[in-house]
Structures are given as C-alpha cells and as structure tokens.
Structure 1
Amino acid sequence: MTSPPLTNERPNILFVMTDQQRFDTIRSLGNDLIDTPNLDRLVERGVTFTNAYSTCPVCVPARYTFQSGSEPTRTDIYDNAVPPGGHEAVEARCGPYLGAAMTQRGYRTFGVGKFHTIPWNGELGYETVLYSEELYDSAAQRTGDAYASWIAREHPQFDWIEALMGERTEMYYMPQMSPLPPELTVESWATDRAIELIDADDDRPWFGLVSYIGPHPPFAPPLPFNRQYDPDRMPSPVTGKEEVDHLDQHIPWMNYAVFADEVDDVRARTLKARYYAEITYIDGCIGRLLDAVDARADSGNTIICFYSDHGELLGDHQGWQKESFFEASTRVPFLVSWPDRIPAGERSDALVALTDLFGIATTAAGGQDLRQGSDVLGLLAGSKAPRERLFGYHGRPGTVRFKAMVREGRHKLIWMANGGRRLLFDVVTDPHEQHPIQDEHPEVCDRLEQALTQELIDEGVTAALSDGSLLTFPYAIWPRERIYQFDRSRGVEGFPPLSVPDDTLRAPETKEPVHG
C-alpha cells in the first residue's frame, strides 16, 4: 500500500474546477487586487500546491488527462482535435474514465458543467451527468445541453440569446457583461444542480465533479460584478522581448485567430478587471458549494480538490489564450483538503499535475490507481517522495507545432520542434520569465532535452523522434487565420458576404427579416 491507511468510512470527494484560471488569482496566495473569500476558505481548509501544472494547457487534452489519469503520450490527445474514435480509444488504452472508476468503487457519482469531450456527450461513467458546454454545433446539441434546455424551458424570455456566456469571434477579447442576471448564469445553474446532488438521499459515499465554464473568455461577468474592479488599478501585462515572447509561433498565431492581435494596455487592463470580476463571481458560487458541504455531518470526511484546466496569458508575453508553456498559461491553482486527514492552511512546493487527480480520488476510495500520476495523498502523509521532474506536451508529435516542457527544480525548459528552438528559465529568480538563460547554461538545456527524449522513447511516441533524437523542422512563421465562433445550432456560420449583408438580419429558423 503506497498511501496512508484509510479511515473506516470512505470520504466523500468533490472536485471543483474552473476554466482558464491563472495560478495567481487567489487573494490569500498573494494577489491583493482580487477578492476571493471562498477560495481563501479552501486555502485555509487544506494544502495549497504552489507548483501545479496543466501538462497540456488547453481545454480538451487537459480534461482528458485528469479524466483518464494519463498524459497525452497515452491519451494521444495533444490539442483540441481528437483523432476519430479517440474518446473510446483513450479508455481502451488507459482504463476506465474517472467517473466510471469511482462508480466501480461503489461511489454515487455525478458530474455537472463543462466536460469538453469529443463527441460533446462522450460517456465518462458518471451515474448522473448534466452537460453545459460553451458552444452548440447543432440544434440537437443545444437541445441536449442541460443548461441551454433549462433556459429554454424555465426562462424562455432569454432563449433568444445565441451566446449565453457572452459574444465570441471578434468580441472574444472585448470587455463584456453577461446577457443574463447573476442567478441565471451557467455558473449559478451548475452550483444549484450540484448542491441538489450533494444533498441527495443516498447512503453511499459520493464523488462529484463541478466544472465551471468561467473565467474562460469572453470575460462577461453579470451585473453588478462587471463594475467591481477599476481598470486603472490593474497592472499592465508583463512582457519581455518579442523575439522571446513570440519565439513560440503559437502565441502570435492565436492572437490573430481570436482577434486579439492589437490589444493595447488600456484594453488589457480593462480585460483583466472583467476577468477578475468573473473569478470573484464564481468564488461566490464556490462559497455556496462549501456551505452545502459544511452543513453535512460528514463534512470533515469530505475531500475537496480545486483546480483549473489551464491558465490564461492575459496579455503577458504579448499573448492571449493558453497553449503556451509560460507559467501564466501552464501553471494552475491546485488546492487539496480533507479536514479529518490533512493539515489545514499549509503550502507545498512539490511538483503536481492534473494527472494526479485520478490517483487522489481512487486512493481515497480504497482502490488506488495512479496511472501516470503521482501519489499526492501519500506525499502529504510523508510516505511518498515528490516527483523529480514533470513533462508537458502540446501540438501533434511529428509536426512543426509539437512542443514540450520539462520542469525540474528551479529550471524549466521549453522545447519547440519549430526550428528546434529552446528557452530555459530559472522560475525562482525570474518568475515572470523575461530573461531566458539557455545561452548561459547549455548543459542544463542538454540534460533536460535528453530527459525529454528518453521519456518520449519510453512512451513509444516515435513520431516526435528521428534517429533517437527530437525531430525538428526549419523555423517557420505560421500563416495567420481567423477563428469564427457563432451559434451553429441556429444556423449561424459566420459573417454574411458583402453581396447579401441583410442575411445577418434574418431569423435563422425562418429567414424572415428581423425588424428593429
């Protein structure tokens, strides 16, 4: 047994996750510009891991890592594109998904919120699942989405809204306000449903996942949170030299894709104010979850894990979105508490990752299955050593878009197949990663690159290799293209051609003109 002995009664387990929340957005952990009283409660309830990472920092692969307990080298999901049949293939290669694994261990299981599987309703093994996804690719998906159908059924006066979480496409990185009142947002809905499930009359221990869509852009907090933070009190983004910040071509490519290629500091500070407002609003929702847990007689024997799928550049390194191995993108909040077993209010600098969540749940349930994760509960009990290094991946191996991260001690290597370029940072002395040191310490780069190569060899990822070394390509500037994100469920595919501009003013279902 690699973990501490369990109590006679198995704990309830609640996983709470946000989407695109940076590691540095919790007040009690050092950000005195943001108000997060309930995340502060969680910090004091257990242990904060200050070196926690999303090893593939973008929505789809990050979620597959914790649902499967496996890294992209085994899920074969390295970006938001899933190979055909990939959802079933992940389970075939890695074993049952987390929901199924906990159901098999005798838990009552439920999941509420954003899952971002492909297909959108991919089976994960939860007894009860309520989906609320960001986008609806078809009318059938909007009808099948638990939140969108709830709005249509219970609050039809708002069903006309195409983008329930805020406008996307050219408005993706524009400050916005939610089109819905605070009690009807997707986060409030998910909280209400989760509380109902927490309080269900069932003698079994329960495992629940509550997956909030925010603070993922668009940054559209509801009234009055939209005016909580003064942009003039927000700091401007932290940037370095462009040849460093944009050495990874994914950053300028993505900036252009989401219409964020010309964001000045004034707009950046306003976006940060709305981003913080989203987090504060969600913090209130999390507070209601904590109150529901605390109201139970078994609250002390309830594990709560809080984390995010990845971070958000938020203008740092002259970039927006994620999919980068800079800290702002790949490092995440990671809080673990279990009042009956884990000391409160402590910090740990051990390297942890989203992959470790699978092991936390299965270990606590009495049937440990770590897969590619580390034993976090054993680490907290003092019976297991922390991992020495952590690997991250993004982009399809064997293509110019493949890149990787190696984090070890104070050093972090970012390696890119695009030109075989390398960036090395000392994240202790240079936490904002403005001063790369690969030229001063080539021996550290070489050692970490060799460790990465060996890991890929051991995992059988041959597409990333050539003659036993990392496969590289001539450095290229990627061609720019826009991403259009409209409500396809209602027949909206994009902007109309100039020849028929009035198509935008026609109701999608009837094509009848909409009059002002």
Structure 2
Amino acid sequence: MSRSAAGRTRVGADDRPHVLLIMTDQQRFDTIACRGNTEIHTPHLDRLVRRGLTFERGYSTTPVCVPARYTLRSGCEPTRTDIWDNRLPPGRHERLRAEQGPYLAEAMRERGYRTFGIGKFHTSPWDADVGFEVHLHSEEQYETPDQRARDSYASWISTEHAEYDWVDALMGERTEMYYMPQTSPLPASLTVEAWAADRAVEQIEQPDPRPFFGAVSFIGPHPPFAPPMPYHRMYDPDRMPLPVRGDLDVDHLDQQLPWMNAMTFAENVDDDRARSLKARYYGEISYIDACIGTILDAVDRLPDPDNVLICFVSDHGDLLGDHSGWQKESFFEASTRIPFLLSWPRMLPADQACADLVCLTDIFGICTTAAGRPDLRQGHDVLGTLLGRGAPRRRLIGYHGRPRTRRFKAMVVQDRWKLIFLANGGHRLLFDVESDPDELTALQHEHPGVVAELTRALIEDLIAEGCSAALVDGAEGTHLWTQPYEVWERTRIYQFDKSRGITGFPENPATVCHDPVLT
C-alpha cells in the first residue's frame, strides 16, 4: 500500500470522527468474497473493503474469546492482562482496569465521546462494567434465571416476542450439536444478529452534539452454525472445499487440537459433515453481512459519513477441520489470523490492501488516536504509520495458556516466518507463511538460525514483561520453560441452558418426556 494518506487533511479537535467498531466472533480471515473467496457472498463486507484498507496480516495474538476481548478493550497483551485463556482469575476485571487504566469505552468517554456497546462482551462477571453509557448485552449462555431476565436480547425476546421465549437455545444447540449443521429456531428478523444491528441503528441515529464511539459485537459465526432461513440453504455443501489437513503427527503436537475436538464432540468429523458445516458457517457469515449492511446504511445517512472511522475485526478464527482441528486456541493461521478492515474516507485511502502486521491490541490506539488523545499501551501506532508518522511493526508475538503449565504456547511472526512454541514437549514449529500459507510443511530443521532468532525475541519479550514463570535460568542462559510431552486426557463439555434448570443429559430419558404413556 502506498503511504498516500500522509498528505490528507488532518481532522481538527472540533471535527473528530465518529468511531464504530464492528466485531464478529470466530470469523476466519479468508471469508470475504472480494478478498479472494469465490464461494462466499459478502456484498457488505466487500463494501467495507472498498471503503478503506484491508490488512492482510491481521492477527488475534491470543486466539480465544475472553483474552482476545480483553486485549482489545485494554490495549494490553496477556503478559499484562494476566488473562491467558477463557478462565479469568477472580477479581481480575477490576484489577486490570486499576493497573492498566480505563477500558476502551471509558477512555473514549473521557475524550468526550458518547458511547454505546451492543452484543457479546464476554466479561467476568458477565455484566461487568466496561465503560459504555449504553450497554446492551447479548451473551451466548444463561447461567441463572436472573441472567436470562437481565440479558438485553433474551429479555427482548421474552417481552416483545414471547411466542419464542420457550426456546432455550436461542442461538442454536450446543454440547453434542456444537459442530452439527443447524438452522436457527428463530426467523431472520428476530435473531440476535438482527437485534444487534437494529439496536446499533437506533444508537447511531440518536441526536447528540458529541461524536459517538460504538461497539457492535455479533455472536456469530461462532458455533453452533445455525443461520436462519433462507441463509441455511444458501450454500451447496458439495461445492465447499475440504479442510486442509497436514501431517497429523505435526498438527497434533499441539494437544489443544485433539482435546478441543473431543470436548465439542468433533473428533470424528467426516468429509461430508465438514462440507455441510462449512456451508452453514458461510450461511452465518452471509446473514451477518446483511446485518452489517443495515448498519452501514445508517452510517451513510449521517451528515458526514466520510468522517466515520469504522474498524471491522473478529476475535479469532476457526480451524473448521484444517490441521484436523475444530475450534480455535491454536496459532495456525485459520485460528489466529483474522479479518481486519479499517476505513475512514476523510483521512485514509480507499480500496487498498496493506501488508503491515496488526493485531487486536492495536484497536485501543487506533480509536484513541482518532479521538485526539493517543494512548497506544502495548499496541502499535497504526494510524500514525498510515499517515506517514512512523514505521510498520516488524514483529508480532502472541501467547495462549498460563505460563509454567502444559497449555502455555507462543507465536512469533516476523517477515515471512512464523514460529510456534509449545511448552508441552518443548516443540518449535517454523512455517514460511508466505510460500506455504496453509502451513503444511514445518521447516524448523531446515532453518535453525531463524528458529534461534525468533526464540530469542520471544525470550526477550517475556523478560521485558517480567513474565518469569515462562522462563528458566540455566548454566547457558535463560530458556523457555518446558515439560515432557504428554497426551491430554480427553473430556466433554456440556453447555445447556442452566437458566431453565438444564444441567446435562438425564439418567432416565423418560424424565424429560411429558407423554403420560412414557412417564
């Protein structure tokens, strides 16, 4: 991409842009039609692409829901958030704010912005304050009747469309159906995605002299893949490409993959089911794309739509069978690389691709810089780089799993190389993601110098961040902590609607049947 944005007119303090963050959940980087996927239909994401910049190397540096969202809202990586996986340490939500400063929405309020947040935020506790003036939750699961009653979307269904309140799995069935093709139990106009888009339009259109900062966080296309009619039959499974499977002995060195497969009843997905799942996944994305179109139409109706900064990202991707894995929590591209679109017609060029390394941690700096008081925290100055005030990031480092446990792993991306380190067994995998984007050929033995350089960079980052738990000191210097390789015990996860008193499968099937002949 040329740095032509450098010569554009600077926005003054009294002419700050509206800022809109649109986020999906578990959307792969390769799911936008005009960016090379000829099988998917995404006219409104295509519209966003044409409106601004597409970052071809956008990453989630901690690719699972909770830590990814905390990196975004705090501008900090796990080395400072201390959130390494979906298990948030008790009280961490408030301590993080006290240690690192206000969360993004609160920071934008301090800069004079009207703020609203709609959708999934995956905090702990579930309704924790993250600084929005208007905060409308739509979380995926309900632990208690009180939570379901106070969830903005579930309560809307209960009060405005009570004919559907009997549905316990409003977003589709989980547990053993997590990776089974499904259809939404609700019509397209009443799903959580349509609700989020409609609420976003209401907020965008609120009369207020202040610029707005809005975050719209869609639950989909996170599984279960249950698009509403007619999106459920939009794609022919027989036209869907099969997953890209590498050497199983390499791919499953990361025990997270087979462990998650078993947890979600997905350890034996055959080719037909894999194609059907991808068809429904694409249907989910096309449906969300239509909802995004509703939001973009509202932006275009504003008096000065060119002065609206729109960021579009996902929290992480989904392996979708690639590397014989389902779910995320992996540093393979399908899991950790994300769509990352940035558009601000007043200031940035349109319809251009950019090869700069960016990640979710950068969102904090992008938004606060646009608001006139930059706060980069651990992110890179992306807007400054685009406007000619600095160089792109050279290297990106990601983490997952608590240090000094078998789950700890890390990623280093630099130039064409990606190093994946696994504490379980101490394995290092090196891929040339430029010539081998599917990561089918591990090259660590052919390029020991590159492995050593990237390993040193990883160790130096951990030392600089004071993360001693991930390190050990020896006679020859500091090394990464490892443990002997072990195969993890397989388990299942059961995700029923606890707000309705459902905690698992019954010992006696007859107890769930109301037919007097059977009971």
Q: Same fold (TM over 0.5)?
A: yes
Give yes or no for the alignment of 1:447 onto 2:457.
Answer: no
Q: 3-state SS of the aligned residue for 1:484? A: coil
Q: 3-state SS of the aligned residue for 1:425? A: strand
CA distance in 1, matches of 2:95, 2:33: 41
Q: What's the counterpart of residue 505 of structure 1?
A: 513
Kindly report which structure 2 residues correspond to 1:404-419, keeping only aligned pairs within 5 A, or say none: 404-419=410-425
CA distance in 2, matches of 1:401, 1:343: 41
Residue of structure 2 aligned with 1:69, choices 71, 75, 78: 75
Q: 3-state SS of the aligned residue for 1:130? A: strand
CA distance in 1, matches of 2:10, 2:448: 45
Residue of structure 2 aligned with 1:362, choices 362, 365, 368: 368
CA distance in 2, matches of 1:345, 1:139: 47
Q: 3-state SS of the aligned residue for 2:127? A: coil
User: By how many angstroms is 1:384 displaced?
Assistant: 1.3
Q: What's the counterpart of residue 6 of structure 1?
A: 11
Q: Which amino acid aligns with 2:11?
A: L
CA distance in 2, matches of 1:325, 1:503: 44
Q: What's the counterpart of residue 291 of structure 2?
A: 285
Give yes or no for the alignment of 1:435 onto 2:441.
Answer: yes
Q: What's the counterpart of residue 56 of structure 2?
A: 50
Q: What's the counterpart of residue 397 of structure 2?
A: 391
Give yes or no for the alignment of 1:474 onto 2:474.
Answer: no
Q: Normalising by the residue count of structure 1, what TM-score does the alignment of the two structures yield?
A: 0.97
Q: Which amino acid aligns with 1:127?
A: E
CA distance in 2, matches of 1:52, 1:513: 57
User: By how many angstroms is 1:290 displaced?
Assistant: 0.4
Give yes or no for the alignment of 1:203 onto 2:197.
Answer: no
Give yes or no for the alignment of 1:334 onto 2:340.
Answer: yes
CA distance in 2, matches of 1:93, 1:389: 26
Q: Which amino acid aligns with 1:121?
A: D
CA RMSD of aligned residues (A): 1.4
Residue of structure 2 aligned with 1:261, choices 252, 264, 267: 267
Give yes or no for the alignment of 1:484 onto 2:494.
Answer: yes
CA distance in 2, matches of 1:187, 1:275: 14
Q: Which amino acid aligns with 1:34?
A: I
463-472 or 100-109, which deviates more: 463-472
User: By how many angstroms is 1:502 displaced?
Assistant: 2.4
Q: Structure 1: 5+ residue runs without aligned partners?
A: 507-511
Q: Is the 8 A contact 2:10 2:347 kept in 1?
A: no
Judged with a 3 Å threshold, the aligned counterparts in structure 2 of structure 1 residues 515 and 345 are, in CA distance, closer, same or farther, namely farther
Task: Render the CA deviation track for 1:103-157: whole Å, top value 9, x for unaligned.
Answer: 1110000000000001101110100000000001111110110000000000011
Kindly report which structure 2 residues correspond to 1:129-140, keeping only aligned pairs within 5 A, or say none: 129-140=135-146
Give yes or no for the alignment of 1:424 onto 2:423.
Answer: no
Q: What's the counterpart of residue 509 of structure 1?
A: none
Q: Is the 8 A contact 1:495 1:504 kept in 2?
A: no
Q: Is the 8 A contact 1:226 1:274 kept in 2?
A: yes
Q: 3-state SS of the aligned residue for 2:117? A: strand
CA distance in 2, matches of 1:491, 1:362: 43
Aligned residues: 507
Q: Which runs of 4+ in 1 moved over 4 A?
A: 512-516
User: By how many angstroms is 1:160 displaced?
Assistant: 0.5
Q: Which amino acid aligns with 1:484?
A: Y
Q: What's the counterpart of residue 167 of structure 2?
A: 161
Q: 3-state SS of the aligned residue for 2:310? A: strand
Q: 3-state SS of the aligned residue for 2:275? A: helix
Task: Render the CA deviation track for 1:430-473: whole Å, top value 9, x for unaligned.
Answer: 00000000010111111111110110011011111111211000
Q: What's the counterpart of residue 45 of structure 2?
A: 39
CA distance in 2, matches of 1:501, 1:235: 39
User: By how many angstroms is 1:515 displaced?
Assistant: 8.9
Q: Which amino acid aligns with 1:235?
A: P
Q: What's the counterpart of residue 186 of structure 2?
A: 180
Give yes or no for the alignment of 1:494 onto 2:504.
Answer: yes
Q: Which amino acid aligns with 2:81?
A: T
Judged with a 3 Å threshold, the aligned counterparts in structure 2 of structure 1 residues 513 and 145 are, in CA distance, closer, same or farther, namely farther
User: By how many angstroms is 1:379 displaced?
Assistant: 1.1
Q: What's the counterpart of residue 3 of structure 2?
A: none
Q: What's the counterpart of residue 403 of structure 1?
A: 409
Q: Which amino acid aligns with 1:113?
A: G
Q: Which amino acid aligns with 1:258?
A: T
Judged with a 3 Å threshold, the aligned counterparts in structure 2 of structure 1 residues 514 and 189 are, in CA distance, closer, same or farther, namely farther
User: By how many angstroms is 1:92 displaced?
Assistant: 1.4
CA distance in 1, matches of 2:304, 2:342: 17
Q: Which amino acid aligns with 2:349?
A: P
User: By how many angstroms is 1:298 displaced?
Assistant: 1.6
461-470 or 483-492, which deviates more: 461-470
Give yes or no for the alignment of 1:214 onto 2:220.
Answer: yes
Q: 3-state SS of the aligned residue for 2:342? A: strand
CA distance in 2, matches of 1:49, 1:503: 53
Q: What's the counterpart of residue 324 of structure 1?
A: 330
Q: Is the 8 A contact 2:510 2:518 kept in 1?
A: no
Q: Is the 8 A contact 2:121 2:139 kept in 1?
A: yes
Give yes or no for the alignment of 1:17 onto 2:27.
Answer: no
Task: Render the CA deviation track for 1:196-235: whole Å, top value 9, x for unaligned.
Answer: 0000011100000000000000000000100000000001
Identity of aligned residues (%): 63
Q: 3-state SS of the aligned residue for 2:15? A: coil
CA distance in 2, matches of 1:504, 1:356: 49
Give yes or no for the alignment of 1:194 onto 2:200.
Answer: yes
CA distance in 1, matches of 2:447, 2:79: 28
User: By how many angstroms is 1:503 displaced?
Assistant: 2.8
CA distance in 2, matches of 1:305, 1:14: 6
Q: Which amino acid aligns with 2:511?
A: D
Q: Normalising by the residue count of structure 2, what TM-score does the alignment of the two structures yield?
A: 0.96
Q: Is the 8 A contact 1:505 1:514 kept in 2?
A: no
Task: Render the CA deviation track for 1:150-206: whole Å, top value 9, x for unaligned.
Answer: 000000110010100000000000000000000000000000001000000111000
Q: What's the counterpart of residue 302 of structure 2?
A: 296
CA distance in 2, matches of 1:457, 1:503: 57
